[in-house]
Amino acid sequence: MPSVTAEIVIAVDAMGGDQAPDMVVRGVSLARKRFPEVRYLLFGDEARLEPLVKGMPEVAEVSEIRHASDAVSAEAKPSQVVRTGRKSSLWLATEAVKRGEAAGVVSAGNTGAFMAVAKIILRTLPGIDRPAIATLLPTQRGESVVLDLGANAECNANNLVEFAIMGEVFARTVLALERPTVGIMNVGSEAGKGTDSVRGAATVLGDSTLPIHFHGFVEGDDLAKGTVDVIVTDGFTGNVMLKTAEGTAKLYSQFLRNAFGSSLLSKMGYLLARPALNKVRTRTDPRRYNGAMFLGLNGVAVKSHGGTDELGFANALGVAVDLVREGFNESIKGEFEKVQVPQVPASV
């Protein structure tokens, strides 16, 4: 196996995910075609990884196996992993970023454990109190970035302001939008609506001299409309929102499947419209949007959905490559050094 010398190196937790490690290695194979300049460090059980990698020469060419004697289960408590998981593939892969051997880490394993380990090993960027989980979602206009998706169940106004800055920098650097719009999720668009946290954050973002194009409050249906480029919310609401959107899309496509199957005519109709309908399927394929980013850490960390397949995992690897390539963390650091983030009094 050649030594890892190329420009971008990604550390991979090869043992995370329902179908790991097979799915992970197949994902690397797919990613290899898309990002020929990227190299991978595969952390996991050598005895299981070696034969897999040997069977895929295109993976062997760009990867190096690093043995990890332990793996974090999907059910493990984050606090326990932090105490006893130092020999796990998740821990060692994340540590590779800290040591500078890799520019980013990707795992399809236990989300809570990954966030806890990443916070301890990578630490938050200067000026940032709490990291957030962000993702892209399809909208009528294109796609929007949404954060937080569950790293912080409860957020105060200052947390939301930080998320807004991070989301804006992401949209500017990685999505290459010139002046992305930012909205705060609320139960109505009027100024007096919602909790103290969202009102406090809106006051700061609206009044301050931060270089942010603040749109104001948005509501649940603004996600699909694509009203703003960045949607800011607490991790509880964001998590429920994301899963509600996924569930509704599935429900709708299930209703459609039933409808198309309900008569001979509708079956024929389906056959005629199939090429066009397949485009919709591709457009809304959750695997396309796989790869949630942990923003605000001293290193790139991307969480793949645990139940995804190799296509989804390759997308998650692509998200990590994008963040590294576009220098997202350097931009964030620059932003927080440049601006004085106004603080909302603790009572708000």
Judged by the rule CB under 8 A, the positions of this chain that interact with a copy of itself are 75, 77, 138-140, 150, 153-154, 185, 187, 190, 192-195, 219-225, 233, 235-237, 239-256, 258-260, 262-263, 265-266, 268-277, 279-280, 283-284
- How far is the C-alpha of 22 from the C-alpha of 151, rounded, in Å? 28
Q: Which residues contact 140 (CB under 8 A, 6 or more apart)?
A: 224, 225, 226
Q: Is the Cβ of residue 69 or residue 244 nearer to a copy of itself in the bound state?
A: 244
DSSP three-state, residue 9? strand
Question: What's the min distance (Å) between Cβ of 222 and a copy of itself?
Answer: 7
Nearer to a copy of itself, 103 or 137 (CB): 137
Beta strands in 89-229 (DSSP E): 104-107, 132-138, 143-147, 181-185, 213-218
**Closest approach of Cβ 131 to a copy of itself, in Å?**
16
For 217, phi then psi, to 5°, come to: -80, 145
Instruction: Tell me the closest approach of the beta carbon of residue 40 to a copy of itself, in angstroms.
Output: 30
β 132-138/143-147 pair status: antiparallel
Q: Which residues of 288-309 are buried (b: 16+ CB within 10 A; e: fewer)?
A: ebbbbbbbbbbbbbbbbbbebb
C-beta of residue 9 within 8 angstroms of C-beta of residue 294: no
Smaller CB distance to a copy of itself: residue 120 or 273? 273
Name the minimum Å distance from CB 175 to a copy of itself. Answer: 19
Minimum CB distance to a copy of itself smaller for 1 or for 259: 259
139 versus 331: smaller Cβ distance to a copy of itself: 139
Query: Quick one: 78 or 180, whose CB is closer to a copy of itself?
Result: 78
In 3D, which of 241, 235, 164, 154 has the Cα closest to residue 201? 164
Q: How far is the CB of 16 from a copy of itself (least distance, A)?
A: 17
Query: Considering the complex, what minimum distance in angstroms separates the CB of residue 293 from a copy of itself?
Result: 18
Got the DSSP string for 13-80?
A: ETT-STTTTHHHHHHHHHHHHH-TTEEEEEEE-HHHHHHHHHT-HHHHTTEEEEE-SB---TT--HHH
| Closer residue to a copy of itself, CB minimum distance, 154 or 178 | 154
Quick one: tokens of 286? 């959750």
CA distance 17 to 21: 8
| Shortest CB 199 distance to a copy of itself, Å | 10
Closest to a copy of itself by CB, 13 or 222: 222
By beta-carbon proximity to a copy of itself, the closer residue of 8 and 236 is 236
Residue 203 CB, shortest distance to a copy of itself, in Å, is 16
Q: Which residues have C-beta within 8 Å of that of residue 252, sequence separation ≥ 6? A: none
Task: Tell me the closest approach of the beta carbon of residue 195 to a copy of itself, in angstroms.
Answer: 5
